[in-house]
Amino acid sequence: MAGLIAAGLAGCINVAAPDKPIVIELNINIRQEVIYRLAEDAAATIEENADIF
């Protein structure tokens, strides 16, 4: 009985890779964090070197 069920299910399972690559876009959050940190560093540099600016 188990052999018949296994034979019946063998043709139903189909595993195939997608045609197009899977793309996960995480650039938005990373970019916002980098810009924020750069702005903070720039403000600190301007405050430290006020006579230059």
What the block records as the tokens of 14 is: 């189909």
Does the structure show a pLDDT above 70 at 47?
yes
pTM (2 decimals)?
0.34
| Chain-centroid distance, C-alpha 4 | 44
**Per-state percent for the chain, helix, strand, coil, to nearest 5:** 60, 0, 40
User: Is pLDDT at 49 greater than 80 in this prediction?
Assistant: yes
Instruction: Give the tens place of pLDDT for each residue, 2-27.
Output: 555 555 555 677 788 889 998 887 76
Q: What is the mean pLDDT of the chain?
A: 75
Mean pLDDT of 30-44: 76
CB-hemisphere CA count at 13 Å for 19? 0
